[in-house]
Amino acid sequence: MPASSTAPTSSTAKLVTIRKRADFLAAARAAYSAQRGLVLQARARGDAEGHRVGFTVTKKVGNAVVRNRVKRRLREAARIELSETARPGFDYVLIGRTATIDREFERLREDLAKAVCKVHMETNRREGAQAGRDRRQDG
């Protein structure tokens, strides 16, 4: 078997998931974007490692079977979309909503793409404002 067929591609790459509560809480304090099918929270960790992804769905959405279905849909959308749009060193937390269950998958992917774009713009704006404050303090 050729070596190239065993190397993970962007469509088959495994997601690195967030496991620790502290990381989820840190993302909750950072930039977020609410879309119809999901809520995305994102934060820059400050290192150059790859991106990580976390998933959460509250009990309001439904029973365990429904919540797991929502997480599977979010996981697949994240695997596809974040392989192209995620920034290294970022943590992304996707929060499932009731609308995630019945949302057409292409619309869910579009929601995620819009949310990622929005949080990256907000992060850039915050970093620019911080750099401006630093320059004023130094001057």
CATH code for the domain of 71 = 3.30.230.10
In a domain, 25, yes or no: yes
pLDDT digits 0-9 by tens, 61-98: 999 999 999 999 999 999 999 999 999 999 999 999 99
Domain count across the chain: 1
pLDDT of residue 6: 46
H-helix or E-strand spanning residue 39:
strand 38-44
Looking at the DSSP assignment, which residues form a beta bridge with residue 32? 41
Task: Quote the domain boundaries for residue 60.
Answer: 13-138
Give pairs for 67-72: CB < 8 Å, separation 24+.
67/96, 69/101, 70/96, 70/100, 70/101, 71/96
List, in sequence order, every residue forming a beta bridge with 92; answer none if it has no partner: 42, 53
How far is the C-alpha of 64 from the C-alpha of 66, rounded, in Å? 5
Segment 15-50, tens digit of pLDDT: 899 999 999 999 999 999 999 999 999 999 988 789
What are the DSSP calls for 64-116, one per residue?
HHHHHHHHHHHHHHHHHHHHHHPPTTEEEEEEE-HHHHHS-HHHHHHHHHHHH
